[in-house]
Amino acid sequence: MFLESPPSHKDRLKPSDTFSFCCHSDLSCFNACCRNKHLPLTPFDLLKIKKNLDIHSDDFLARYVVYRPDPESGFPILSIKMAGENAICPFVTPNGCSIYNDRPTACRLFPLGRFSGINPKEKNPKEFYSLLQIPLCRGIEEEKNWTIAQWVENQGLLPYIRMNDKMLDILFHPRRNPSTALTESQQQKVMVALYNPDIFREFVFETSFLTQFEIDDETAHRVKTDDIALLTLGFSFLKKALYA
C-alpha cells in the first residue's frame, strides 16, 4: 500500500529490518483482503494489468477504474473499481488473484506500506517502509521471516518502484507551484500520457506530436512497440507540457 505521508520515526523500517508473514489458501482470511479497500493504480500497474487482460486502455479505464482529481494538487488518483455491494476486487477468484503475475504495486507491498518523496532541500528521493496494521490478516502470525529487502526482491517490486518513482520528478518538479492545482486541460494531459497508453500512442504517431517534441528515430521505433518506452516518453512529455 502507498502511504500518503511518511510513517512516524518509530515505525520506519530499514532494508535490513525483519517481519513475519506468509499468505496461503489455508488461512481463514484467504482473499478477505481483496475487498473493501482503496486500491491505488500507478501508471505502470495499469500498463501491466491492461497487457495481461489484452484490452484497449479506454476499455480498461471504463470497466475497472475509478478516478478523481486530488483536491489539492489536481493530479488524477486512480484506483481499482471494486464490484457489487461487498466491494470486491474484480480480479479475485476462489483460488486467489487472477492477475497475480501482474498484480498492482500495493498488492505486492502488502503487508508493508511504502512512502516516497523528495525533500526540496535535498535532491535525492527518500523512501520509507512500515508494517501496516491489518487486524484481519492472519499471515502476519505465520513464522516465515523476511527482511524488507528480501520482500521487495521476492515480490518483484524493483521494476515497479523504478517506474512509479518517475512520478516524483513530476510531483516535486522545481517549477511546480504546490499551492496551484492542475487545470482541467493539464489533468487531461496527465490522464492520456500516463494512464491511457493506447490513446497516447495514437497521439504520438497520428498527430503533429513528433514535429513539436523531438525524439530520435531509435526511441520513436521503441515507443511504437514497447509500452515501457511509451510510458517513459509520457513522463518526459509531461515535464515539458506542465512546466515548460
Q: Does 132 bind ligand SF4 (CB under 6 A)?
A: no
Q: Which residue is nearest to ligand SF4 (CB)?
A: 139
Q: Does 112 bind ligand SF4 (CB under 6 A)?
A: no
Of 23, 53, 132, 171, the residue at the interface with ligand SF4 (CB under 6 A) is 23
To ligand SF4, the closest distance from the beta carbon of 41 in angstroms equals 10
Are 210 and 220 within 8 A, CB to CB? yes
To ligand SF4, the closest distance from the beta carbon of 231 in angstroms equals 20
Q: Which amino acid is at 141?
A: E
Rg of the chain over Cα atoms, rounded to whole angstroms, equals 19
Cβ nearer to ligand SF4, comparing 24 with 224: 24
Find the part of the chain contacting ligand SF4 (CB under 6 A) among 84-92, 194-202, 211-219, 227-235.
84-92
Whole-angstrom distance, CA of residue 134 vs CA of residue 7: 15
Whole-angstrom distance, CA of residue 76 vs CA of residue 90: 21
Q: Which residue has the cell 502470525?
A: 141
Are 243 and 173 within 8 A, CB to CB? yes
Q: Does 65 bind ligand SF4 (CB under 6 A)?
A: no
To ligand SF4, the closest distance from the beta carbon of 8 in angstroms equals 23
Sign of the torsion angle spanned by Cα atoms 78, 128, 107, 99? positive
Q: How far apart are the first and last CA of the chain?
A: 32
Q: Does 39 bind ligand SF4 (CB under 6 A)?
A: yes
Binding site for ligand SF4 (CB under 6 A): 23, 27, 29-34, 39, 89, 91-92, 97, 99, 103-104, 107, 110, 136-139
